Amino acid sequence: MSLWQLDQIRIVLVEPAGPLNVGAAARVMKNMGLHQLVLVNPHCDPHCEESRRMAVHGSDVLAGAKVVSDLPTALIGCERAVATTGRLHPQAQPLDLPETALPWLLPTQPEHRFAAALVFGPEDRGLSNEELIYTQRWVRIPASDQYPSLNLAQAVAVCSYLLHRQVLHGALTETFSPGAGATMGGHLAPLEQIEGFYQDLEIVLLKIGYLYPHTAPSRMAKLRRLLHRAGPDSKELAMLRGILRQVNWAVDAPQQET
C-alpha cells in the first residue's frame, strides 16, 4: 500500500557531505513511504559504496535521486516548502514545531494534490539565511539546549516519521486502539467464565491453606483486581484453569497413594 499523500513530497538535502547520511536518509524515506530525494550540489558521491550500503532496501530512492545545482531549482514546481533549521532566528519569523508545520505539506484531498518540499541543510552549517528565504515556513526540531544539533539523517528520520504518522493517523487510531483486550482483535473472556474461575480459585486456595475463611474475601478481591487488569481472553483463562486443576491433582494424588 502506497500513501498517495506522500507521493509528491520531495526531501531536499542541500550540499550533503556525508555519503552515510545520504544513504541513511534514503533508507528512512523508503521506510516512511517517501520516494523523491533531491540533492542540491552534493559534496559527496551519493552513489558510492558507503551510501548504497547505508540505504539497504532504500537503494531505489537513492538511485532515483535528482541532483541539481541550487535550491531554487530543487523547488521548481513546488507549492509549499518547509525548511529545517537548528538555529534560533530571533529577528526573523518564528520557528514552527514539526508537528505544526509538516502536516501543511500534505494534501487533504486526492483532487487537490500539490508538490511540496522539506529542506535540510548541510551537516556542518545548516541552512543559511539566504537559503531559508526560499521556503515559506521554518521548522526547528525541539532538542536539548546542551546539544541541539541533530545528525542530518536523524533529522530526516524524525520528520519523515512525523509525515508518515500524520497521514496514517486516522486509520491508526482505529486499528491500533490501545487498551482493552488480550490478543489483537481478540475477545475478552466472558465475565461469567471469569467468575467461575474465581470460585474455583478460592476453593483451591482454601484447600492448600493459603486462604482462611476470614481472610478469603479481601484476598480474593485483590486477586480479582490483578486479573481484571490483565484482561484475559478465553484461551488464557483456560490455561489458568488448567493450572488450578493440576494443583488440585498434585495435592490430592499423594494422599490417594497412601
> Minimum Å distance from CB 40 to a copy of itself?
22
> Minimum Å distance from CB 170 to a copy of itself?
12
How far is the first Cα of the chain from the last one, in angstroms, to the nearest whole number? 67
Residue selected from 151, 190, 215, 221 as contacting a copy of itself according to rule CB under 8 A: 151
Residue selected from 19, 107, 122, 232 as contacting a copy of itself according to rule CB under 8 A: 232
Task: Write the DSSP string, 113-163.
Answer: --EEEEEE--TTT---HHHHTTSSEEE-----TTS----HHHHHHHHHHHH
Q: Which residues inside 161-190 make contact with a copy of itself, applying CB under 8 A? A: 161, 164-165, 168-169, 171-172, 175-184
- With H, G, I as helix, E, B as strand and everything else as coil, classify residue 82: strand
What residue has cell string 518540499?
Answer: 117
77 contributes a contact to a copy of itself by CB under 8 A: no
**Pick 13 or 74: Cβ nearer a copy of itself:** 13
Site map (CB under 8 A) of a copy of itself, residues 105-134, x = contact? ------------------------------
54 contributes a contact to a copy of itself by CB under 8 A: yes
Question: How many helices (H) and strands (E) would you count in the chain?
Answer: 10, 6
What residue has cell string 481472610?
Answer: 215
**Pairing status of strand 9-14 against strand 115-120:** parallel
Q: Is 5 exposed, middle or buried (0-12, 13-18, 19+ CB in 10 A)?
A: buried
28 contributes a contact to a copy of itself by CB under 8 A: yes
Contact region for a copy of itself (CB under 8 A) — 62-70, 76-84, 113-121, 140-148? 140-148
63 contributes a contact to a copy of itself by CB under 8 A: no
Residue selected from 48, 143, 203, 221 as contacting a copy of itself according to rule CB under 8 A: 143
- With H, G, I as helix, E, B as strand and everything else as coil, classify residue 110: coil
217 contributes a contact to a copy of itself by CB under 8 A: no
- Is the distance from CB of 182 to CB of 194 less than 8 angstroms? no
218 contributes a contact to a copy of itself by CB under 8 A: no
79 contributes a contact to a copy of itself by CB under 8 A: no
